Homo-oligomer: A and B are copies of this chain.
């Protein structure tokens, strides 16, 4: 029950901020069929934490992180498109990252993994696409972290995509988001169990990871949604942890249950590397955005933002859309009123599905 395939990255694989990886690979999954012209591919980057498993398939029937969006007749219509979803370089679901074995030492990289940048994640996806014999994507698409990666993709690889979909992304991390992410990193690195990154695989810094994930979850949603969902409902007695200052409200139990699930899935060092890469991302390192988008050779773009997003504000998506327009790219900007904040793309599939489906169906 594993639908992952692996693309070997060029060896050496140069990293954006220096140094290089050897024997690195990208885990990916695909849905649908690549057509004879090899021009119907949609490359999908993920947010910070998901694997390449965006949706179920014959080889892996488990639900994916964008279940309901990718499949025959769905918004990413696999009757028409060949959808490729990649696990980000630096992550821990099959692609090479800090938890992978360093071939030079035979031990996990941990903090000896080179500096990771959004540009490296983009290049990992690009090489995966090339390895499949695809010269030009129909569409490059990504939400959140992936919404940064697609902009780097356009800047780094002119002509590599005909269309672009940027969902709740940004051209450069805002100081508010930097503040929140850096606090989460500090919560992890100040957990004595982190041990300077050298924790054992079976003894990760779970307290720090758990609390950091709770904070992450808070930043991914909105106050209005939680008022609606939880109000001041007390915690279920079986969820209450006991001890001084124990949880008392349902919202606390919800955060705890999500955090516990995550701690067992995601490597702490991988999290730290990707989180920092997000803070550091600034498209203008490559030049002025309008010029970059013009050189990218895009025909059209869809930029989606959510007004309740705390972390990637809708004004940031508006800036992306305006620069694309100024570059002569036919751009639809969709500022949505979803109540779910940054995570709306994972929750309000009806609204997002309609926008994305209409955009993908429009080009021919």
Contact = CB atoms under 8 A, between A and B. Distances in A.
A182 B247 contact: yes
A183 interface: yes
A50 B192 CA distance: 32
Interface residues of A, number: 51
B244 A111 contact: yes
Given A183-B218, A214-B183, A215-B183, A175 B313 contact: no
The prevalent SS among residues of A at the interface is helix
A215 B187 CA distance: 10
A244 B189 contact: yes
Contacts of A230: 175
A39 interface: no
Given A190-B207, A223-B176, A227-B175, A232 B182 contact: no
Interface in A266-280: 272, 276, 279-280
A279 B196 CA distance: 35
A191 to B, nearest CB: 8
Given A189-B244, A245-B189, A247-B182, A175 B226 contact: yes
Contacts of A247: 182
Contacts of A189: 244-245
A74 interface: no
Contacts of A245: 185-186, 189, 272, 276
Residue among A182, A196, A226, A251 with most chain B CB within 10 A: A182
A211 B190 CA distance: 9
A325 interface: no
Contacts of A223: 174-177, 310, 313
Most buried by B among A179, A189, A196: A179
A62 to B, nearest CB: 29
A231 B190 contact: no
Given A187-B187, A190-B207, A245-B276, 10 more contacts: A111-B244, A175-B226, A175-B249, A176-B226, A176-B251, A179-B226, A185-B245, A186-B211, A232-B282, A249-B279
30 contacts: A111-B244, A172-B232, A173-B232, A174-B226, A175-B226, A175-B231, A175-B250, A175-B251, A176-B222, A176-B223, A176-B226, A178-B232, A178-B249, A178-B251, A178-B252, A179-B214, A179-B226, A179-B251, A179-B252, A182-B249, A183-B211, A183-B214, A183-B215, A187-B187, A189-B245, A196-B244, A223-B310, A232-B282, A245-B272, A310-B310
Interface of A: 111, 172-180, 182-183, 185-187, 189-192, 196-197, 207, 211, 214-215, 218, 222-224, 226-227, 229-232, 244-245, 247-252, 255, 272, 276, 279-280, 282, 310, 313
